[in-house]
Structure 1
Amino acid sequence: MRQACIFILLSILTSYFSWANQQHNEKRFNTEKDLLVMQFDCKTDVDDIHSAAALKTLLSNHEFDAVNYFAVAGTYGIQEGLYVPPNKLFQQAFDERWSDAHANREKAVEEMKNVTLECLQKGGSVWIAEAGQSDFSAELIKAIQKETPDINTAERIHIVQHSDWNEDVTSAKSLAFVKAHSNYHKIPDGNAEGNGTPGFRTPGYSAWKTKVQDPELIKLWRLAVEIGLKYNGKDGRYNNEAIASGGLDFSDLSEVCWILGIQSIKDTDEFFNAFGQ
């Protein structure tokens, strides 16, 4: 009887680790036809500034040359607090591949509707990494449904969220809408290590200065650190202790790593070892 129980237990564990390994290495994003969108609330935590620099660093690697991507700034929900102006960094990082929802939300929704429809109408899927809340995504999906009701957004638009706090400061109606009208994924929090996604919040971390080799990326990270320190905790904004200590926080990038199937990266140092060259 004891041997039978042990055998059953081993079988269960073997099945579990087989499943976990498949999940760990699953390729979700189709480079040939899909679109990657990263939406940044930029309010009131400065971690989005670091996350934008990290996104550009990742996508500058030759492995991801073919990734079709777009960024949106100012996709905040119902949270209070002051905005962190990202425009200088976003312009440097993304050139024309970004939209400013803080300056004009209606215009940004229209721009992103056109960008996403171009992908969807060619048979691709849209993957949205929520570096913030889902209110903007709800508006975007409604705009797509209004113009092209034949597109099944629940299958073709994937939203990836890692933060309980981001969900809490998304309006209840918007959160319920995106969960009903998109393929919504809640993944482990990118602020912690060892939970199945990378941990990209690292107090006191400055080794990027020796690991990043590309001159343009060096300029970008210097600007990201400068903006982060300028606005962190200022005028009632959230005080990010990792950044205040001279470290980095690009925890929202864990979602992009999950989308691209590279969530096996452990932490900030491994990220720069892999993509800083």
Structure 2
Amino acid sequence: MEKDLLLVQMDCKTDVDDIHTAAALYTLMSQPDFQGVNYLPVAGTYGVQEGLYVSPNELLDVAFGKKWADADADRAKALKEVMKKAKKALNSGGDIWIAEAGQSDFSALLIQEIQKTMSQIKPSERIHVVQHSNWNEKVTSEEALAFVKATADYHKIPDGNAVGNGSPGFRTPGYTQWQTQLSDPKQLEVWQLAVKIGLEYNGVEGRYNNEAVAENGLDFSDLSEVCYILGLEEIKDTEEFFGRFAK
């Protein structure tokens, strides 16, 4: 925790689940045990999938201020921002942990940049990529996925959309208990905004229709990778997550 860097890379296309994932990340990073984590959310790290973007900008601004990178607006600029933090971590002896809440295309660019500018670094030892979704792998460009798997320390964990498979299951239709479980005004504001944006964009103009969200539930399944990285794989589901971390 003192040296490593956690990157939470969200494609935000075309499923609204990353909006809920960002809110869940804020909840987790607000816990005393994790306030020392050096982390950076990165939005717009999509691969070759078609469909419209779901802008997370308003939510990320509320939750994280200016401490996030926008690869949708300017991928080259976002890569520079991430590289600045990555270099600092690697030079201090830390590792890079990438939660792939989306595809591996941006990770490939980052690893290539590290290889080019920090040739002494061995990505297979210092860059750890965690993926949970067959779909995310499918819509990563073939070249990028093959490169990341061959170059980095790549971990494929059970899918966070299901309960009881070894990963937390964070896709829960009809889950509205968060409204009474959250008393902290900032956390409540973040989740209210996330749910509002999710319902506003879910299935609209050809975007993916997330049935859990459509049924007034939550889907922050991509947080399963962050839980793996932080040693929280024992969390069962959405109810346990809020039971443990809601303020």
TM-score tier after normalising by the smaller chain length? over 0.9
- The aligned counterpart of 2:139 is 169
Correspondence for 2:78 among 102, 108, 115:
108
Which sits farther off after the overlay, 146-155 or 185-194?
A: 146-155
SS at match of 1:33: coil
Q: Pick the aligned partner of 2:192 from 207, 222, 226.
A: 222
For residue 45 of structure 1, what is the aligned residue in structure 2? 15
Among 109, 119, 137, which residue is 2:107 paired with? Answer: 137
The one-letter amino acid paired with 1:206 is: T
Q: Which residue of 1 aligns with 2:28?
A: 58
For residues 222-268 of structure 1, give each alpha carbon's deviation from its aligned partner in whole angstroms, at most 9, with x where no partner exists. Answer: 00000000000000000000000000000000000000001100000
| Cα offset, 1:137, TM superposition | 0.3
Q: Who wins on radius of gyration, i.e. which is larger?
A: 1
Provide, for residues 66-119 of structure 1, a one-character-per-residue CA deviation record: whole Å limited to 9, x for no partner. 111001000000000000011000111111221000000111111111111110
Stretch deviating more after TM superposition (232-241 or 89-98): 89-98
Q: CA deviation at 1:196?
A: 0.6
Residue 90 of structure 2 corresponds to residue 120 of structure 1: yes
What SS does the aligned partner of 1:127 have?
strand
Match of 1:249 in 2: 219
Distance 2:126 2:134 in 1: 24
What is the TM-score when the length of structure 2 is the normalising length?
0.99
One-letter amino acid of the counterpart of residue 97, structure 1: K
Indicate the percent of aligned positions where both proteins have the same amino acid.
64
> For 2:42, which of 72, 89, 95 is the aligned residue?
72
CA shift at 1:153, angstroms? 1.1
Single out whichever of 109-118 and 181-190 deviates more from structure 2: 109-118
Q: Distance in 2 between matches of 1:209 and 1:86?
A: 21
Distance in 1, Cα, partners of 2:4 & 2:163: 28
Q: Distance in 1 between matches of 2:234 and 2:189?
A: 28
Q: Quick check: 1:178 aligned with 2:145? A: no
Structure 2 segments unaligned to the other structure (5+ residues): none
Which deviates the most, 105-114 or 156-165? 105-114
- State the number of aligned residues: 247
CA RMSD of the aligned region, Å?
A: 0.6
**In structure 2, how many angstroms separate the alpha carbons of the residues matched to 1:192 and 1:250?**
11
Task: Tell me the SS of whatever aligns to 1:184.
Answer: strand
1:3 maps to what in 2? none
Amino acid of the structure 2 residue aligned with 1:124: G
Q: Does 1:266 align with 2:228?
A: no
Unaligned runs of 5+ in 1: 1-30
1:236 equivalent in structure 2 = 206
CA deviations 1:156-180 (Å, max 9, x no partner) are 0000000000000001100011011
